[in-house]
């Protein structure tokens, strides 16, 4: 591999190095690149959702219902907890998805006072289409890395995330 092209993070690190040569800046460079990677990748990922008429949050709800397995139903509070959303935030998403005919609210057979959220046939068809495009897009994003590098990146991200989540 040839020499890597300078990126905006290099410029920031060089400026800090000049102004504060006493600082250890390796972590700043790594975290800075991870932050930029998140922003750039999110844009590419959300473009796939938008091409199918969805926002990220709506995709998340449909995906959670779809991966829950047959009968593709969940309690709204379980959905909110799964997606780390407030109950109010979940209600808004469910209202939009229900208006679009992608989910429906049904009475819980075990507790008539409770409601369950179910994927409609249209919702299942859409999420299956979108998750196929989404995973292909993520594969494309990572395709510049070798299989070995992808595995190593996953391992490193898992270790780092685990240490931060344990704090």
Query: What pLDDT score does 111 carry?
Result: 74
Between CA 73 and CA 35, with CA 133 as vertex, the angle to 5 degrees is 95
Strands 115-119 and 103-107: antiparallel
- Measure the CA–CA gap between 148 and 152, rounded to whole angstroms: 6
Candidates 99, 104, 68; CA nearest to 83 is 68
Tens digit of pLDDT per residue, the chain (167 long)? 556 788 899 999 999 999 999 999 999 999 999 999 999 999 999 999 999 999 999 999 999 999 999 999 998 888 988 888 888 888 889 999 999 999 999 987 777 778 899 999 999 999 999 999 999 999 999 999 999 999 999 999 999 999 998 88
> Are 63 and 55 a contacting pair, CB within 8 Å?
no
Residue whose token pair is 């990677």: 37
CB neighbourhood size of 55 (10 A): 13
Predicted local confidence at residue 151, as pLDDT? 97
Residue with structure tokens 């507790």?
111
- How much is the pLDDT for 110? 75
* Entry pTM: 0.85
Alpha helices in 52-110 (DSSP H): 56-67, 76-82, 87-99
Q: What is the pLDDT of residue 2?
A: 54
The answer to whether the CB of 58 falls within 8 A of the CB of 97 is yes
């Amino acid at each position: 591999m040839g020499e890597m092209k300078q990126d905006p993070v290099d410029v920031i690190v060089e400026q800090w190095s000049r102004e504060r040569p006493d600082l250890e800046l390796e972590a700043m460079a790594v975290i800075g690149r991870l932050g930029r990677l998140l922003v750039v990748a999110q844009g590419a990922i959300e473009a796939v959702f938008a091409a199918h008429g969805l926002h990220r949050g709506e995709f998340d709800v449909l995906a959670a219902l779809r991966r829950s397995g047959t009968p593709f139903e969940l309690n709204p509070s379980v959905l909110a907890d799964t997606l780390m959303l407030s109950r109010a935030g979940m209600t808004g998403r469910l209202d939009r998805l229900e208006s679009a005919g992608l989910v429906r609210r049904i009475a819980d057979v075990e507790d008539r006072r409770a409601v369950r959220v179910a994927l409609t046939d249209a919702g299942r068809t859409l999420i299956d289409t979108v998750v196929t495009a989404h995973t292909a897009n993520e594969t494309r994003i990572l395709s510049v890395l070798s299989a070995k590098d992808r595995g190593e990146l996953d391992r490193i991200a898992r270790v780092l995330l685990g240490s931060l989540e344990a704090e």
